[in-house]
Amino acid sequence: MKLTGVELRRISLPLVSPFRTSFGTETTRDALLVRVESTEAEGWGECVAMSGPLYSSEYVDGAIDVLRRFFVPALGAVERLSAIDVAPALAKFHGHRMAKAALETAVLDAELRAEGRPLARELGAVHDRVPCGVSVGIMNSIPELLDAVGGYLDEGYLRIKLKIQPGWDIDPVAAVHERFGDDILLQVDANTAYSVSDARHLARLDPFNLLLIEQPLDEEDILGHAELARSIKTPVCLDESITSARAAAAAITLGACSIINIKPGRVGGYLESVRIHDVCVAHGIPVWCGGMLETGLGRAANVALAALPGFTLPGDTSASSRYYQTDITTPFTLDNGHLPVPTTPGIGIDPLPDHLAAVTTSTEWLPLQVVGSD
């Protein structure tokens, strides 16, 4: 197909409650949506970059700039474009994986819509619904945390993930374990908040039989993670460190992790996510799908990815109500702890025009000349 134009749409969507991690607190989802128009169909992608460079070096204003100045013109120059051509066309531009992922997803969505194929089937899904976990942010007190966890369990979530940081780790985990026992699947996420010198302290989590500890050390400290993995019994899972299939293979080979979290935006898109999945399956490494507070557009695509066979642990594919009172799409609702995998062409969901308009803060249309036109 040939792109005729790309729309960059910025939205501001309030969260139902503040979400606090070791790198900051979010109260609003400041997000960038990418819509492509082609000669055959339109498609949507969601950029997961945050408003500031806190989780990663990427941020929304930067994503808009690099898309406008470099990525969209580069794709506009491709006469016959398919989703598999996006990464090679953008390879000369370093980094900006989240922006690349949003654009590739929009192209993939348009291509699949034009051909009548659902994303899940295209990626290799084997399930029609996926188990759901929930990420619980850092709270002001342990009683507040226990109330929140209890509420999520009552809603039917199958796995609880606690955000941790120095000063908020052993005691909260112990309290949740004592209150809810071994019957719940429990894991923790440090978002790079520790150093390898904290190994003895982190070993104090071992008695709680956690599913995993996610990204305890700096994203570039692969050898430190390998050392930590030898020092503690809790399985080490990598998140921010995994930026590609090559990075995943290296981390596995070095013994830096025994589980991997795949976030499509972090690795450059869903096609690279499948490659990471395949590397992990080949090495016997379980994977699960992470989340970045996506709207229904990003959530639909994540659910499709999480239906692949190697995703054997519940992901952060929570229901829409976990984050938003009103989403921009038809909401995803838990059914016995699971979400259904979309089955209609493309990502399988569209934004609701009135809901989308209500949260839009800006739009920019980037027209592209169709070959053969004036």
Closest CA to 186 of 194, 197, 201, 175: 175
Please report the sign of the dihedral spanned by the C-alpha atoms of residue 22, residue 208, residue 321, residue 112.
positive
**Dihedral Cα 88, 102, 237, 216, nearest 10 deg:** 110
Tokens at 298, concatenated: 């990003």
**Residue owning tokens 């204003």:** 61
| CA-wise closest residue to 171 among 203, 199, 205 | 205
Residues 2, 100, 161, 163: which is the catalytic one? 163
Among 2, 100, 161, 263, the active-site one is 263
The residues, any chain, with a CB within 8 Å of residue 54's CB and separated by 6 or more, are 23, 24
Question: In angstroms, how far is CA 216 from the centroid of its own chain?
Answer: 18
Catalytic residue at 92?
A: no
d(C-alpha 263, C-alpha 226), whole Å? 21
Tally of CA atoms within 13 A in the half-sphere of 197 that contains its CB? 1
Residue with tokens 């070791």: 22
* Catalytically annotated residues: 163, 263
